[in-house]
């Protein structure tokens, strides 16, 4: 199995990935809260998680990936403000909460599809798992990790030796870090405690409620990810991923609940994607008009240009969105498609050179296996396209690398295929040059080569015949 190294938020180090079961990976992803369209910041997170997923598969692992859909129970997040988001969405659009959830879940996967983000093997809405949430909360109460106060069930963080395992937070930070502390929840025994089950909250107009041993109510946000992960991936998880804003409190609380429930270590590797920012700061939905995939399309961008935009920067660095950079990447992407189309059309020029193929494949995997250096992986692709080898080998490498990059280099190449007129002109000049060489008229042959070069077209004589490239 190829070695994959990446930064683990838990240990704060780049580490070699070793799964619990050889060759198999259990991977959990926090899914979207479906009250509105995803903005392209959210989608940066899912694109880079897709790279994690696809790299592991490319390296030969058998990956099972699970994602939740937060259609209820997103409360206690520090991002919450004002009204409940799902209820707000339903009011805004004069629909029911479930209609809103269905509409925006479909919209999310349609965006993912356009960005070539692989659909996880299991997608589970929180509303499907109420009995599982109730069971986990019952066990936490039995074990003494939870308590009832003010008709809600709370997790008791003082029962843990190490609560802040993921973040460098302290109790004092919570004064500003957690919104529900700012709102002063007097039921709590400790500042960091959080709600597992609500029957009474300031969000009284919650549309969806269920019966429970503690009265009619609804779950807290954090419990859903612990339960959905364990439901499909068992009590030991290899990798958990999400955006960096999820490190605290969401992922910290997931660890607290899960490990108190099982009595042992839950997840070994934590993968976090940094934010996409706008000039004014972090991209968010609360800022009124926000950037969506549809908006990019309406401005004439293929969504895959945005995928390439994300791949050109490292997932552990904040990324600033700008149309200027998008335009540069759009030009580079279109050129890449043209080059791929030409290589594809000339790929019957010999057998695949396995040595060359394996050399570039190893470099590609090395870039990805080194903390998912996607911009380096794209550089390896460019190097391969310029390599001193036949088009059959280059075309094989394009198809191979695109299993991870997923820029549709093979598929879109057809559409972007080099202008037929230009191709006819090049072929005519190549034939005229061959004729001149046959007649030992080397001056004319050289002049034709120079004429083509002037237009950015390079021709090369190979054993298989003349091949050409366009800058
Ligand atoms: P949400 O739908 O708000 O739960 O967010 C879905 C995912 O997007 C979470 O994993 C967030 O951490 C992530 N996220 C939110 N805002 C951004 C941003 N500006 N850039 C990158 N990821 C983000
Ligand atoms: Zn989650």
Return the ligand 1 atom nearest residue 30 CA: 10
What is the structure's pLDDT at 84?
75
Residue in the block written with tokens 């004439």:
300
Query: Which residue do the tokens 């600033």 mark?
Result: 320
Cβ of 282 less than 6 Å from ligand 1: yes
3-state secondary structure 144-157: CCEEEECCEEEECH
Q: What is the pLDDT of residue 200?
A: 81
What is the C-alpha to C-alpha distance for residues 458 and 449, in angstroms, rounded to an integer?
A: 8
Q: Is 245 in the pocket of ligand 1 (CB under 6 A)?
A: yes
Q: Which residues contact 449 (CB under 8 A, 6 or more apart)?
A: 433, 459
Q: What is the pLDDT of residue 308?
A: 98
Q: Is the dihedral of CA 171, 176, 179, 182 positive or negative?
A: positive
pLDDT number for residue 343 = 95
* pLDDT value of position 399: 97
Within a 13 Å sphere around the CA of 353, how many CA atoms are in the beta-carbon half? 13
Task: Tell me the CA–centroid distance for residue 246 and ligand 2, in Å.
Answer: 7
The pLDDT of residue 73 is 61
Which of 45, 85, 166 most suits a substitution to test ligand 1, by most atoms within 8 Å of the C-beta? Answer: 45
**What residues contact residue 452 under an 8 Å CB cut-off, 6+ apart?**
426, 429, 458, 459, 468
Ligand 2 centroid from CA 338, angstroms: 41
pLDDT of residue 197: 94
Q: Distance from the CA of 74 to the center of ligand 2, in angstroms?
A: 9
Residue 224 alpha carbon to ligand 1 centre in Å: 17
For residue 177, the model assigns a pLDDT of 41
85 lines ligand 1 (CB under 6 A): no
- pLDDT number for residue 170: 63
- Give yes or no for residue 107 CB within 6 A of ligand 1: no
pLDDT at residue 169 in the model: 66
Contact, 54 vs 404, CB < 8 A? yes
Q: Say if ligand 1 is within 6 A of residue 54 CB.
A: no
Nearest ligand to residue 247 Cα: 1
The pLDDT of residue 416 is: 63
The two three-digit tokens of residue 369, written as one number: 């296996």
Q: In the prediction, which pLDDT does 146 show? A: 98
DSSP codes of every residue in 395-458: HHHHHHHHHHH---TTHHHHHT---HHHHHHHHHHHHHHHHHHHTT-HHHHHHHHHHHHHTTEE
| pLDDT reported for residue 97 | 85
pLDDT of residue 462: 82
Report strand pairing: 146-149 vs 281-282.
unpaired
Q: Pairing state of beta strands 5-8 and 13-16?
A: antiparallel
Does residue 313 line the site of ligand 1, with CB under 6 A? no
Report which protein residue has its CA nearest ligand 1's atom 6.
Answer: 32
CB neighbours of 60 closer than 8 A, spacing ≥ 6? 1, 2, 23
Determine what percent of the chain is predicted with pLDDT higher than 70: 91
Spell out where 156-246 has E strands: 194-198, 218-219, 237-243
149 touches 441 (CB < 8 A)? no
CB distance 276 to ligand 1 below 6 Å: yes
First vs last C-alpha separation in the chain: 38
Q: Is 243 in the pocket of ligand 1 (CB under 6 A)?
A: yes
Closest CA to 135 of 52, 230, 68, 50: 230
pLDDT of 342 reads 93
CA–CA dist 116, 382 (Å, integer): 21
| pLDDT for res 467 | 83
User: 14 C-alpha vs ligand 1 centroid, how far in Å?
Assistant: 23
Q: Supply the pLDDT for residue 418.
A: 60
CB atoms near residue 354 (< 10 Å): 11
Closest C-alpha residue for ligand 1 atom 23: 42
Our CA angle for 9, 144, 26, nearest 5°, is 35
Does ligand 1 have an atom closer than 6 angstroms to the CB of 40? no
Give the pLDDT confidence score for residue 420 in this predicted structure. 57
Residue 87's pLDDT is what? 80
State the closest ligand 1 atom to the C-alpha of 70, by its place in the atom list counted from 1.
Answer: 4
Torsion angles phi and psi, residue 458, rounded to 5: -105, 130
DSSP state of 70: B
Nearest CA to 47 out of 276, 367, 232 is that of 276
CA–CA separation, 173 and 325 (whole Å): 37
Nearest to 157 by CA among 176, 131, 178: 178
Residue of the CA atom closest to atom 9 of ligand 1:
243
Cα–Cα distance for residue pair 356/362, rounded to 1 Å: 10
Q: Using 50 as the pLDDT threshold, list the residues of the chain that sit under it.
A: 76-80, 175-182
CA-closest residue to ligand 1 atom 12: 243
């Amino acid at each position: 199995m190829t070695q994959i190294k990446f930064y683990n938020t838990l240990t704060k180090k780049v580490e070699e990935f070793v799964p619990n079961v050889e060759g198999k990976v259990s991977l959990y992803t926090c899914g979207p809260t479906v009250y509105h369209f995803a903005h392209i910041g959210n989608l940066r997170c899912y694109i880079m998680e897709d790279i994690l997923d696809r790299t592991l598969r490319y390296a030969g692992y058998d990956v099972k990936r699970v994602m939740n859909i937060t259609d209820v129970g997103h409360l206690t997040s520090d991002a919450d403000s004002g009204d409940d988001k799902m209820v707000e969405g339903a009011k805004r659009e004069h629909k029911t909460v479930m209609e809103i959830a269905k509409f925006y879940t479909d919209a999310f996967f349609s965006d993912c599809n356009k960005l070539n983000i692989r659909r996880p093997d299991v997608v589970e809405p929180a509303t499907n798992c109420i009995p599982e949430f109730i069971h986990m909360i019952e066990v936490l109460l039995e074990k003494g990790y939870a308590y009832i106060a003010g008709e809600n069930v709370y997790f008791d963080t003082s029962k843990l030796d190490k609560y802040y395992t993921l973040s460098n937070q302290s109790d004092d930070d919570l004064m500003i870090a957690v919104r529900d502390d700012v709102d002063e929840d007097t039921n709590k025994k400790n500042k960091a405690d959080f709600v597992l089950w609500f029957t009474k909250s300031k969000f009284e107009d919650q549309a969806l409620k269920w019966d429970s041993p503690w009265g009619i109510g609804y779950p807290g946000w954090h419990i859903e990810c612990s339960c959905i992960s364990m439901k499909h991936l068992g009590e030991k998880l290899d990798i958990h991923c999400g955006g960096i804003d999820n490190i605290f409190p969401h992922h910290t609380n997931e660890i607290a609940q899960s490990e108190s429930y099982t009595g042992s270590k839950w997840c070994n590797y934590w993968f976090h994607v940094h934010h996409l920012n706008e000039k004014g700061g972090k991209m968010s939905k609360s800022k009124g008009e926000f950037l969506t995939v549809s908006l990019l399309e309406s401005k004439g961008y293929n969504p895959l240009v945005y995928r390439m935009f994300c791949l050109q920067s490292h997932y552990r660095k904040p990324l600033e969105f700008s149309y200027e950079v998008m335009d540069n990447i759009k030009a580079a992407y279109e050129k890449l498609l043209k080059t791929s189309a030409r290589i594809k059309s000339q790929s019957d020029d010999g057998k695949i050179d396995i040595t060359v193929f394996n050399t570039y494949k190893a470099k590609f995997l090395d870039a990805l296996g080194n903390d998912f250096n996607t911009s380096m992986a794209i550089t390896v692709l460019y190097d391969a396209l310029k390599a001193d080898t036949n088009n059959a080998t280059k075309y094989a490498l394009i198809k191979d690398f695109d299993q991870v990059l997923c820029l549709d280099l093979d598929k879109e190449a057809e559409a972007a295929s080099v202008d037929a007129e230009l191709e006819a002109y090049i072929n005519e000049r190549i034939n005229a040059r061959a004729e001149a060489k046959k007649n030992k008229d080397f001056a004319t042959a050289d002049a034709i080569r120079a004429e083509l070069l002037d237009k950015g077209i390079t021709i090369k004589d190979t054993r298989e015949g003349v091949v050409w490239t366009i800058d």
